[in-house]
Structure 1
Amino acid sequence: MTNEELKRTLWDAADKLRGSVAAAQYKYPVLGLVFLKYVSDMYDAQSQVIRSRLSDPKSDYFIDDLETRVESETAFTGDKTFYDIDNVFWIPLDAHFNVLLAQATAPDLAQRLDKAMGLIEADNPRLKGVLYREFSRLELEPGKLGELMGLLARLKFDPGQHASRDVFGEVYEYFLGQFAMKEGARAGEFYTPKSVVNLLVEILAPFKGTIYDPACGSGGMFVQSARFKDAHQKQLKKQGDLAIHGQELMAATRRLCLMNLAVHGLDGNLGDSYGDTFANDQHKTLRADYVLANPPFNISDWGGDKLADDPRWVHGIPPKGNANFAWLQHMLARLSARGRAGIVLANGSMSSQQSGEGEIRRSMVQSDVVECMVALPGQLFANTQIPACLWFLSRDKGAGINGSIDRSGQVLFIDARKAATGRISRTQVEFTDENLQRIAQAYHRWRGSDFSDGDAYADEPGFCYTASLAEVEKHGFVLTPGRYVGAQVEEDDDEAFGEKMERLTAQLAEQMAKGAELDAVIREKLGALGYGT
């Protein structure tokens, strides 16, 4: 099987096993077992690493005498210290995936799994409160849990064999995406379509510094940012480094995120616990270099009536009935002096004049913190039909650390509504790699960033346009890209207008004549059948 076929086969089988259990309930034990298989395989791989070090003359742990080395293997592989030094989770024997798999037909398997997860958390402080420990409450038919473990046992992770791809990470993300499609509207609580995440990351280009997501869900922004950093280290010939910070409102979703980070070998500070970013901000002193977020759209019950005097509202008090401009100002308040933010919001945020939103938008534009606006296609999200856009904010639009071209007093508008040519299903589209590069390069050329392909930026009718703040003011500080980019220029077909008009008129006349002939034939046939003339 290819990697894609493996993921698809595993998902189809796992989904079939859930029976009548709702996807929203089922995803936690499934992803918890994927994580257990991953950490168990990593533990086994580390045991082999320890043994190889004992026999390697270049290693600090080399033991020359064969008999002594063999005797020492058990002591070394049973010492938690030798796992901690390589950031590998310690897995107690009774909690190992394969040991539990051997008990898959036991009537109390669910209770054994709950106990195993507790043992792992006790031996690994980083995982405290993270793992799923409610298998015994899961309403699966008898034997289904053992079947699920048998299915996931087909996954194999060997760091030596798969150094170039994290199979478990890919399976984890794939399952997240599939559960999102199953859950529909509720999926917005934990999942942002990969296509949207990729676009945010390609434009924001997080490489070195602090990254923050105040509505981090299952952590997709963090994982993709780390991949971007890794992919560009060789190109830029320098070492990237990202410190991850985030916050999540839902306790169960926060656990998904922490597991996702662990599966990808990433450390993150998600605060002391889950909580409301507005009322219980756990990163008040943070000043991030990159903010990426897909906060919940248009939420009305966000506690705005209790936060009227909050110092984050520099550009105006957000309306109590909509949190969009609360999110924008919160993220702006968390940016460092060089910081930039990429935020997914509903299209209404670009033009709304209700409850003072237009005044807040005007203040932000006049303060020159709005850097780029991107209009998105309407079918990118499987879980909402609300049209969305991307806001990019910047604390420093001058020539320097964020780009070689001074863009002070300017805003880049990109209309990407027709730029997604990939298709996931009949009702959902996605950006292809070519689509992503076209959009991202428009931005990077405009800024003259390190990630530009070197070509000069140029306005492209129907797609991108640089507007001065004076132009934005003429449009009443409405930030909808379609108002600025104009219409796409049609290719010149070298046919004179008069000739084209004459040709099209003749073509229309010919088609109308054929239509009249068909009408006569139809009337004749109907008459023969007795339906009148």
Structure 2
Amino acid sequence: MLELFKTESDDNIYYLPSEDYDSDDYYQTAIAEELELLEYYQEKNVFWVPKTARWSILKNKATLPIGSVLWQDSQGQDVKFRSVSWLIDNALDEIEKSNPKLKGILNRISQYQLDNDKLIGLINTFSDTSFSKPEYKGERLNLQSKDILGHVYEYFLGQFALAEGKQGGQYYTPKSIVTLIVEMLEPYQGRVYDPAMGSGGFFVSSEKFIEEHAKEQHYDPAEQKKHISVYGQESNPTTWKLAAMNMAIRGIDFNFGKRMPIRFLDDQHTDLRADFVMANPPFNMKEWWHAKLEEDVRWQYGTPPQGNANFAWMQHMLHHLAPSGSMALLLANGSMSSNTNNEGKIRKNLIEQNLVACMVALPGQLFTNTQIPACIWLLSKAKARKGEVLFIDARNLGFMKGRVLRDFKAEDIKQIADTYHAWQQSEGYDDEAGFCYSAKLADIEKHDFVLTPGRYVGAAEQEDDGEPFAEKMARLTEQLKGQFVESTKLEAEIKDNLKGLGYEC
């Protein structure tokens, strides 16, 4: 939480014509006054930290004796130092007053009864970190304070997700998967909606996407961001707060509704029709149904089964999708083939209505919270290639970044996204055995509307090693004979060892 205070103004250049002032003192005073005008920051949607909540106050006042006068309040009364936790809580109060969307979100430090010395040590550690002139291995990094804060926040979210395991997945989707979905959808402008937003990763990646593609698209990223608006909802109160803080740190304006909803019963954006909808909802959620959801307007393609919310999430997202919009969501692999309790019928209707654009089969071990194999559904209400679906089998992509977790490399993400865009534009796309295939509706019907990419892309072509078949079979047969001999020898040794221990087999 201390991240909220640790920003520095060296990122920005403020300019006032010095010739308009009689002396340098007046000039510097004018600059200082301009920098304290809250309206400027609100206009640019810059996160505002009031004077008494700034890092310099925390750093300089935290070591004062208890009872020291800190400042005068609005009535001219002395405000005295009580404790470091009180000083931090006071700063949080001031931040919430100046940033209404954070009201009730920031937890207070005093409730944890932390020792003053420990808090002072933490403040000193942060003080030793430069947020305005970051360096790595002696090289100055081209990062602004909010970028560093964002990276720090993202890092901690990832670490919490790893530590929490299954529970951590409720608020954190692996960065590479989020990036892949955003690169495929290309949200340059419009309304972005996530009905299961977690900590807001899709919103952050959408803003990063605009920044990273500014040069090739020839636009000013700051101006382009004004044309993006984000909408989300989240039923978990703690996760909702994480998302709001994530947006505030990065200066992203947001609309997360008036309250935490009861999932499908309490839609926070009933009239929203978004240009881009993206989500990683809970897989195969069982406890979701309510009698009030019978005949719901969102079940346009069939009523989802009461014991599995996969197609409830999908149809909720479609309901909020604009007539020309595109959407993507992560679901368990079973959603591509299940015919249980109306799921097959819903999938068939989605395909026949030309809504399914692309299916991506993902590698295993991508998630901290589940080992269930997953896939990406990409749907569009304005699909470029009617009567076709692109299948991409990405199960062999990625690398093991640890003992149990897999991840995508940047080139993997580019390969998948470029393949999808080439297919959309009908230029530079070719089917590739083992990786991608563009299937006609008739092909899909032959497979009983099952959408598993492996059924369509086939096996990758194997390189011919030049060894004649007869010679290869003779060599392999001889090798197998030798292995049988070794196996028999080992079996005899094991039996002798067991016999020596008094066991026969």
Amino acid aligned to 2:249: V
Structure 2 stretches lacking a partner, 5+ long: 67-81, 135-139
CA drift at 1:312: 0.8
**Contact 2:289–2:307 (CA under 8 A) maintained in structure 1:** no
**Contact 2:47–2:248 (CA under 8 A) maintained in structure 1:** no
Amino acid aligned to 2:206: S
Partner SS for 1:200: helix
- Residue number in structure 2 paired with 1:248: 234
1:146 is the counterpart of 2:124: no
Aligned equivalents of 1:528 and 1:315: distance in 2? 69
Partner SS for 1:348: helix
More divergent stretch after superposition (92-101 vs 465-474): 92-101
Amino acid aligned to 1:474: K
**Contact 1:304–1:319 (CA under 8 A) maintained in structure 2:** no
CA RMSD in angstroms, aligned pairs only: 3.0
> Relative to 1, partners in 2 of residues 1:147 and 1:445: Cα closer, same or farther, differing over 3 Å?
same
> Relative to 1, partners in 2 of residues 1:470 and 1:528: Cα closer, same or farther, differing over 3 Å?
closer
More divergent stretch after superposition (367-376 vs 295-304): 295-304
Structure 1 stretches lacking a partner, 5+ long: 1-31, 399-406
Aligned equivalents of 1:196 and 1:233: distance in 2? 22
Q: TM-score, normalised by structure 1?
A: 0.81
Q: How does 1:122-133 map to 2 (within 5 A)?
A: 122-130=97-105, 132-133=106-107
**Contact 1:368–1:408 (CA under 8 A) maintained in structure 2:** yes
> Relative to 1, partners in 2 of residues 1:487 and 1:258: Cα closer, same or farther, differing over 3 Å?
same
Aligned equivalents of 2:369 and 2:115: distance in 1? 29
- Residue number in structure 2 paired with 1:155: 129
1:204 is the counterpart of 2:190: no
1:323 is the counterpart of 2:298: no
Please point out which of 245, 256, 268 is paired with 1:259: 245
- Residue number in structure 2 paired with 1:378: 364
Please point out which of 413, 423, 427 is paired with 1:436: 413
**Contact 1:218–1:256 (CA under 8 A) maintained in structure 2:** yes
Aligned equivalents of 1:417 and 1:149: distance in 2? 45
- Residue number in structure 2 paired with 1:401: none
CA drift at 1:365: 1.1
1:237 is the counterpart of 2:218: yes
Aligned length: 476
CA drift at 1:276: 3.1
Amino acid aligned to 1:416: A
Aligned equivalents of 1:285 and 1:443: distance in 2? 30
CA drift at 1:176: 0.9
Amino acid aligned to 2:357: E
Please point out which of 261, 265, 273 is paired with 1:275: 261
- Residue number in structure 1 paired with 2:69: none
Please point out which of 424, 436, 440 is paired with 1:447: 424
Q: How does 1:33-72 map to 2 (within 5 A)?
A: 33-37=2-6, 41-42=7-8, 44-45=9-10, 49-50=13-14, 53-54=15-16, 56=18, 62-72=20-30
Q: How does 1:285-304 map to 2 (within 5 A)?
A: 285-304=271-290
Aligned equivalents of 1:80 and 1:526: distance in 2? 82
> What do residues 46-88 of structure 1 show as CA deviations (whole Å, max 9, x unaligned)?
8x855xx24555xxxx535334324545544444345445444
Aligned equivalents of 1:426 and 1:144: distance in 2? 34
Amino acid aligned to 2:243: C
Partner SS for 2:241: helix
**Contact 1:416–1:463 (CA under 8 A) maintained in structure 2:** yes
- Residue number in structure 1 paired with 2:156: 175
Q: TM-score, normalised by structure 2?
A: 0.85
Aligned equivalents of 2:475 and 2:438: distance in 1? 39
> Relative to 1, partners in 2 of residues 1:194 and 1:412: Cα closer, same or farther, differing over 3 Å?
same
> Relative to 1, partners in 2 of residues 1:386 and 1:56: Cα closer, same or farther, differing over 3 Å?
farther
CA drift at 1:424: 2.5
CA drift at 1:446: 1.0
> What do residues 493-528 of structure 1 show as CA deviations (whole Å, max 9, x unaligned)?
122222211222233334445666778899999999
Q: How does 1:387-466 map to 2 (within 5 A)?
A: 387-398=373-384, 407-421=385-399, 423-448=400-425, 456-466=428-438
- Residue number in structure 2 paired with 1:306: 292
> What do residues 436-467 of structure 1 show as CA deviations (whole Å, max 9, x unaligned)?
11211221111128xxxx6x211122211111
> Relative to 1, partners in 2 of residues 1:139 and 1:420: Cα closer, same or farther, differing over 3 Å?
farther
- Residue number in structure 1 paired with 2:84: 109
**Contact 1:279–1:303 (CA under 8 A) maintained in structure 2:** no
> Relative to 1, partners in 2 of residues 1:531 and 1:200: Cα closer, same or farther, differing over 3 Å?
closer
Using the aligned pairs only, state the percent identity.
45
- Residue number in structure 1 paired with 2:320: 334
> Relative to 1, partners in 2 of residues 1:418 and 1:126: Cα closer, same or farther, differing over 3 Å?
same
Aligned equivalents of 1:336 and 1:513: distance in 2? 68
Amino acid aligned to 1:279: L
1:80 is the counterpart of 2:38: yes
- Residue number in structure 1 paired with 2:444: 472
